[in-house]
A = this chain, B = another copy of it.
């Protein structure tokens, strides 16, 4: 065996590296602590809301805008919470492992569909979710999932959630999937259908579209979208009705070039400045 073959063999015996976002989200104590903290706040908020019955839902009314939010009235409807599934309640460990071990491969919708059907044994609940959701159910608040997993694979998706202790969920009542109300990934039509039956006291998601589809408007630039979320009238909702789970691995938060991401007046070294 030549030296090159020996070297090649040693190199392939080393487990592959992992993108930083995955290291943080799936492998670190910091990432796990962040989700426990989010679910801690979510649970506390919902238990308090269950005690005082809010007049308004946290779901946008049809005439709401990001600049002028308005919320659906609750009426006498029973209380519910609405959560996204992927990287909000459940970590797609097997799928992301497969991705990490095939660097550079493009996203493939068919592979994701296969994953929905066959991946039930390769997921885990996100840290903190099971305890919080059980406490919320015990307080008499219905736990509902609104996800872009496919209605065409409803049985598999229902089983995945139930198998890892995030249920009980049932398709059509506590599990809403892509294709249930309208085609496509917009979640507002499903939020409207859920709101016809329930007063939604809190929502959780890892993407801004888990709260309102208005954040997904194509005209909204990266910096403008951040501003709308954190410095306008919506800023006070985070941790206070709307609960976000950190996801630096995929999704609508991973956009922008240096001019989008870094404010022009916060650059260093300062142009022409002493250093």
Contacts and interface: CB of A to CB of B under 8 A. Distances in A.
Given A98-B268, A222-B27, A33 B261 contact: no
A246 to B, nearest CB: 4
A116 B23 CA distance: 28
Given A22-B261, A261-B100, A30 B253 contact: yes
Interface in A235-275: 235, 238-240, 242-249, 251-263, 266-270, 273-275
Interface string A46-81: 000000000000000000000000000000000000
Nearest to A31: B253
Interface residues of A, number: 90
A261 B30 contact: no
A21 B18 contact: no
A14 B260 CA distance: 12
A36 B98 contact: no
Interface stretch (A140-148, A173-181, A223-231): A223-231
B229 A29 contact: yes
Given A23-B255, A28-B225, A100-B261, 14 more contacts: A16-B257, A18-B262, A21-B21, A21-B24, A28-B254, A30-B244, A33-B238, A34-B245, A36-B235, A40-B41, A118-B269, A118-B273, A118-B274, A246-B248
Interface of A: 14-34, 36-41, 93-98, 100-101, 114-115, 118-119, 121-124, 127-128, 206-208, 215, 222-223, 225-226, 228-231, 235, 238-240, 242-249, 251-263, 266-270, 273-275
